Structure formats: structure tokens, C-alpha cells
Structure 1
């Protein structure tokens, strides 16, 4: 065992295979993220049901979505402030508790105005859970398979998409839209209790804060699952030793390019994706489909999340992140257009399924791995959350833009806009992006700071 005064958390984690302790951390983060995603993805079905029962309207739905994402925006900014200062573990804990409790209260909301307020409170928690979970998991995953395991976390989290669609199909016709909030709110409180007891803090973060004894204890939990492990000595680890800490900011030379890219990618990824998930069921209702048929179509389409995230786990380590994302963005823009011009049930489900597959592939690579792994450890939560906050801000504005486009130009206008966003994103990644495949987080940081 290496001396606690030379912890070298990065090299010691990167040399490990995937252990039982890794599996435990993955399960705990996936549990919280799954119900976070489930809570967000119920919006489309709940909104469609509220319109059908006259509890809400198109304009009311826009207010519901915007209040949710305004809470998500503030929650993400709180994560940016807290995650790097107080710790990743604490941020995951408080956010999970807040959104679980608030979502349960949404089921009891007496009026639409109360529902909007409670949805905002839930958003404060929802905004921090996934972004912090991805950032924490990036710091545990071994470098050679980091793309696979970060995508695997996204895969498990985004199983919430078909799960939410299936729950809506079964629960809303039988028990009404309020039942979805009960289903979304109670399980996270159970996961929260398990995380409090079993989720460790990132040893990379602990080491960066000088809390070496704590970092050593967490590393020992992982290393004891690998018998015969040789110590990592300082000379042997020199090329991946912790970067000498200087004052690093999001706008420092070498880092600002990553900050700008992350902001652009977050805006376009979130605006296009949440446009689809939140509004498609309402589009179906407005076209005269029944609730049961709408939710059945949505369920089939959302099954695309499964192959999408599975493909991400395979592609990101095999072909790398940068060019995979460029090609994928262009393809998604085309599929979005094809979906927008579809009219037959077969075409709607086919192109909708393909869009969900590609969008989940994009989200898995970008949000789960590419953005957090590019930022230095000392500002990883700040960088990831700051970029994510811009994406959340876009989702606050986009419902009103989408409502306007839909009323004036139909859903084809909505998806032409999505097409343009995907092309801009492809260009930004091509010009500003860097490849991170098979590199340690410390090496990525060193390359960036060397540009200063």
C-alpha cells in the first residue's frame, strides 16, 4: 500500500479492473439517476393527460415545463457551487432528498398553480442529481474503459425513458396522472437512504482537497477486491501523477475552449431532446389520438433508449468521442426532419424510435462522459454544472418557442429548428473538441493546462 502522503488516487484507480466496489457505486448512482430521469420523462405523458382532462392547456403546459426547468437551472447552479467545495457525495445526497419529497407533494397538489410551484422545488433537486452523479462516476471509472462505464451509467439511467412511458400507459388510464408522481417520488427516498450509508466520496476530489487519510480509506475499499495488487510508487507513476495545483478557472487559457464547447453542446443537446420528450405526446393528442394510443406510441418510440445507450457504451471506447459525436449530430438532424414530416403510424414510430436511439447515444457520450472528463478535477463539478445550467436555461425558453413554432408552422417547423441545432453542434465539436479516449483524467488536465 502506498504511503498516505503520496496517495496518487488517479493512477491507483486507473490501474484497477472493474471491481465489486465499482459495481456498488454504479448501482447507487444509477438508482438515483434512474428515478431522476423517470421524474423528468413523465412530463410528456402527464401534460398530455392534463390537457385531455382540462386540468391544463398548451400554454399551461409551457408554464409547467418552464417552471420545472427553471428549478433544474437553479439546482444545477447550486451543484456547481457545492460539488467542488463541499463534495460530490453531499451534493448527490441533498438533491436526491429534495426531488423525492417534492415529487411526492406534486401528487397532492390541489391546483395547477400549486403543481407548478412544487414542480419548481422538485427541479432544484432534479438539476443536481444526474450531473453530479456523472461527474462522480467519471472519477471512479478506469481510464481504458471509462467511455464504456460512463455510457453504461447513462444506459441504466435512461432505461427510465421506456419505464416512464410504460408506467404512463398502465397507470394514467387506470388511476389518473397523479399516480405518476407517486411512482416517481417514493423510490428515490429509498435510494437516498442507501446512498447515505454506502456511497463513497471521490478519492480524486479528497486528494485535491488535501484530505489524504480519507482518500486512502476509500482507495483501500476498492483495492482490497483485487488480490496481489502491487503498490503504485511515486517514480513509476510520474507521468500520471496529480497535476501541480495552480489556480484554475473555467476561463483559464487551455480550459476556456472546453468551457465554450461544453456550453454549446449542452444547450443544443438538451433543447432538442427535451423538446421531443416533453411535446411529442401533446402533439399526438392535438392530432386527435386517444390517450391510450398516444401512450402506446410513446412507449414504442422510447424503447429506442435501450439500443442507443448500449451503442454508446461500445462506440465511445472503440472509435473515440469526438468524431463519433460529429457524425452522430448530423445523422440526428436528418432523422429529426424525417420524423417531423412523418404522418403514418408506421413512419412516426420508426423515425421516432431512430431519433430516440440516436439522441440517447449522443446524451450518453456527451453528458455522462465527454463533458465531465474534459474538465480538471478541481473544477469538474463547476464546469459540468455550469455548462449544464446553460442547457437548462435553453429548456426554459424553448417551450414557448416550440409552442409558437407549432401554432404557426406545425411540427415540421419544430423539427427544422432541431435540424439546424444539430448541424451547429456538429461544427462546434469538430472545431473545438479534443479526443479523450483511453487518457487518464490527469493526462487530459495536463494537456489542457500546458496550452496556457
Structure 2
């Protein structure tokens, strides 16, 4: 009879031998539906300030067009909430499971978004954004963890690319609604309020669909709940075999790390400390390039002298490209190249194109350059989300990812004000110089210190990390002798 450790090892190997088919793809596709409204809610920081300024809730004051200081506070409230959610609450999914946390986090930020639609003061709006950000921070970390654990190693990158394709449909949806609704007030209700209601209501509908997603078998195995993991995986295997009309191949043996409780301080000890420091630097600076462009695009265009209507129209044109790029990446580069080098390459492209964007004045050229920056940003995003989750063991994966990811949210809080400062005092050129320097630091952190993960089982990654630490410890002991 197999021991519990042998059974858990078998579960991990059985997950990784699953082929690409509808039964396996069903889980990430259903999970990605909620991603549409997560992204929609996240990118409201780029579009809603235009409507809030139009209603007089946000004011420009001495900062100039579109109330840049108020937009900075609006974005800062959102990302500070995500910082709190990622740092403080993401660890609960290591204790209580992935499924209940990503379900209830979705409810939390949806309710906060609906509440924001009824606010009449800047304080009320920003408070609701703070609460929505907490739910969003927990949700994004937990779903990354969940997908890494349930998807086979052979097409993990492709799954994250398709997830981003579906989720990024929320960006053109939001941009389209903003273009048509913000300048008007349908039925006497401001357009920005309709946008908030649509986002919150849509996410609640998707919550109902997500209820059918199972718990992560890998997490169950790590908790010693072998029977539940076996039942879930056996049911999935039967569906796969029925679809393929043939038996599944024999799973290849894989390394297994015995179930154990994880302390938060594990991520600050070898062998994980190296990756933690690397990812803290990476996360702090990558959001400057990603959100510094995406969340400020309408305002950056307006600062270059384009009207509000044209700024929204150009932003819509760029937004339409966001879901197209991950779909392209899914069948061209996903799982064909190491994720660390995709991160390095995309960061370099963003740095170069950002400087070009700052000096362009022609509308068509701005849109073309913006579309290419969107392509680089989506390549960066779908590459790093699985990458950082792959580097940590299952028993502390959520809290570890939550901690390092929280620094990207903290960075965005600070850079919201820095971008507002640079835009006011140096114009768009100063903003993009700031962005380019940040992306160069991203390239160095991952390029110099990042390990390879493509096509490797999560247990194999952890075992090689432990082996490397054992060799290091042996060498150190030898030197002492």
C-alpha cells in the first residue's frame, strides 16, 4: 500500500501528465472569466478620473488639466488596498485553500465597486477604491497560485497567455464604455457611475460561474487530504479519457516535498532568500513601466495637447490591442522560451518604445507606438505571473507570492504621485525617462539572478533549489574545516 507521501507524489505526477484537451482547459477558462472584470476594475484608475473631474468630484486645483493630483490619489487608494490585500490576507489561502479565497475576494471587491457608484465626494470614492483594492489584491495572488498548481507543466505558459487574453478583454470593454458614457449622463446618471455599476455587477455574475471550480489537488495533497485530492483528480482523468477515447499515459515519477507547515520567515532564509530579494526588486520596478503607461495613458495624451475626446479615442485604439497580444503570444512564444528571458526582452522593448512615445505628436504614430508598448507589457505580464509562483513551494506559495507581489502595489502607490510630479514639471518626456530607467532595473534583476522554470514540475524546481542549497552548505562546511 502506498504511503501518504507516495500518494501525494503520484498526484503531482498525474497532474503533469495530463494532455491539452477541453476537460483540462475548462478550469483556467472559467477562472479567466472573472479576470475580465478584475482587469476592468483595475484599469478604472485610467478612465474614471475623467468622469469624476467632469462631475466636479475631482478638481484640478493648481495641478492642471484633468485633476492630476486627484487621479494620483485615486490610483494610490486602489493600489494601497491591493498592497494590504496581497501582504496581509493572501496567506489565508495557504491555510484555508485556494478556492474559497478567490471566490469571496471576488465578492468583496465587487461590492466595494458597486458602493463607489453611489459616492458624491472624493473621500467616499477613494475609500471604496481602497476596499476594492484589498479584494483585488487577494484575488490576483490567489488565482496565480491556483493556476500554477492545477495546470500541467508542459503548457503552463500557454494557459497564462490565454488567461491574459480573456482577462484583457476587460480593457477594451472599459475603454469603449468610457468613450461613450463618460461625456454623457444616460437617464440623468453620470457615465462614470454606469461604468462602476457594470463592472461590479458583471463580476458578481462571473462569481456564480466560478463556484464550480474545484480545489487545487496539489494544495490538498500538501495538507494531507489525500482522499479529496484523489477524488478530484480521478474525476478529471475520467473526463479526459472519455474525451480522448484512450487511456492516459503512465505518469513519470517526480520529486515530492513532504507536507509541512510553512513559516513566513522561510522566504528570508536560504535557499528562498535569493529569489525573494530578486522578486522584491523586480515587482517594485515592473509596475512603474506597466501601470505608469497603461493607467496614465489618457492623461499623458491630454498633457500632449490632445482633447479629452481624442485622448479617450486614442486610448481605446490602444486598449483594443491588449487582448490580441496574449492570444498571439500563446501560440508563438509561450512555453517555447524561458520565462525569465521573455521578461528581460519585454522590459527592454518597453523602455525603448516609451522614450519614442514621449516625442511623437502624430495621432496614428502615437497609437501605433502605444499598441507595441501594450504588446511588450502583455508579454511581461503573462510571463512573470506564473514565474514568481513557480519559484516558491506549495505550502507557502500564496503568502510568498503575496509578499513579493505586494511591493508592486506599494510601488504603484508611490509612483502615482511621482508620475504626477514628473508630468506636471517635466511633461511626458520626464515620465517616460522614469519608466525606462525602471525597466532597465527589471532586466538586470531577472536576467542576472532568475532561474529557469520552463517545462519543469513545481516539485522539480523545489528539489533543485534544495539540492543547490545542500551543495552550498557542504562547501561552506568544507571551508570551515
Q: Shorter-normalised TM-score: what interval?
A: over 0.9
* 2:308 pairs with 1:328: no
Matched-pair contact (CA < 8 Å) for 2:178–2:312: yes
TM-superposed deviation, 1:157: 1.2
1:183 equivalent in structure 2:
198
TM-score (norm 2): 0.88
1:130 equivalent in structure 2:
140
Matched-pair contact (CA < 8 Å) for 1:81–1:382: yes
2:63 equivalent in structure 1:
none
TM-superposed deviation, 1:48: 2.1
2:453 equivalent in structure 1:
436
Matched-pair contact (CA < 8 Å) for 1:162–1:303: yes
CA offsets, 1:277-300, max 9 Å, x none?
222212333444333222110011
- Mapped partners of 1:231, 1:359: distance in 2: 37
1:309-320 matched pairs, under 5 angstroms: 309-313=326-330, 314-320=332-338
TM-score (norm 1): 0.93
* 2:429 pairs with 1:412: yes
Which segments of 5 or more consecutive residues in structure 2 lack a partner in the other structure?
59-66, 186-190, 470-481
TM-superposed deviation, 1:2: 8.5
TM-superposed deviation, 1:101: 0.7
- Mapped partners of 2:438, 2:329: distance in 1: 21
Matched-pair contact (CA < 8 Å) for 2:342–2:379: no
1:396-411 matched pairs, under 5 angstroms: 396-411=413-428
TM-superposed deviation, 1:445: 1.1
* 1:336 match: secondary structure: helix
Structure 1 pair 195–307 and aligned structure 2 pair: CA distance change class (3 A): closer
- Mapped partners of 2:303, 2:359: distance in 1: 16
Which segments of 5 or more consecutive residues in structure 1 lack a partner in the other structure?
none
1:211 equivalent in structure 2:
225
* 2:96 pairs with 1:107: no
CA offsets, 1:1-24, max 9 Å, x none?
999871422100110113434333
Aligned length: 446
* 2:443 pairs with 1:426: yes
1:355 equivalent in structure 2:
373
Matched-pair contact (CA < 8 Å) for 2:82–2:409: yes
* 2:288 pairs with 1:265: no
2:17 equivalent in structure 1:
15
Moved over 4 A (4+): 1-5, 245-248
More displaced stretch, 204-213 vs 129-138: 129-138
* 2:42 pairs with 1:40: yes
Structure 1 pair 439–246 and aligned structure 2 pair: CA distance change class (3 A): same
- Mapped partners of 1:385, 1:39: distance in 2: 19
TM-superposed deviation, 1:329: 1.6
Structure 1 pair 125–43 and aligned structure 2 pair: CA distance change class (3 A): same
Matched-pair contact (CA < 8 Å) for 1:32–1:192: yes
1:192 equivalent in structure 2:
207
TM-superposed deviation, 1:223: 0.5
Match of 1:374 among 383, 391, 395: 391
2:312 equivalent in structure 1:
295
TM-superposed deviation, 1:146: 1.1
TM-superposed deviation, 1:129: 1.5
Match of 1:242 among 246, 256, 276: 256
- Mapped partners of 2:82, 2:450: distance in 1: 26
Match of 2:239 among 225, 228, 231: 225
Structure 1 pair 339–405 and aligned structure 2 pair: CA distance change class (3 A): same
- Mapped partners of 1:192, 1:281: distance in 2: 30
1:95 equivalent in structure 2:
105
TM-superposed deviation, 1:437: 1.0
- Mapped partners of 1:283, 1:105: distance in 2: 29
Matched-pair contact (CA < 8 Å) for 1:316–1:437: no
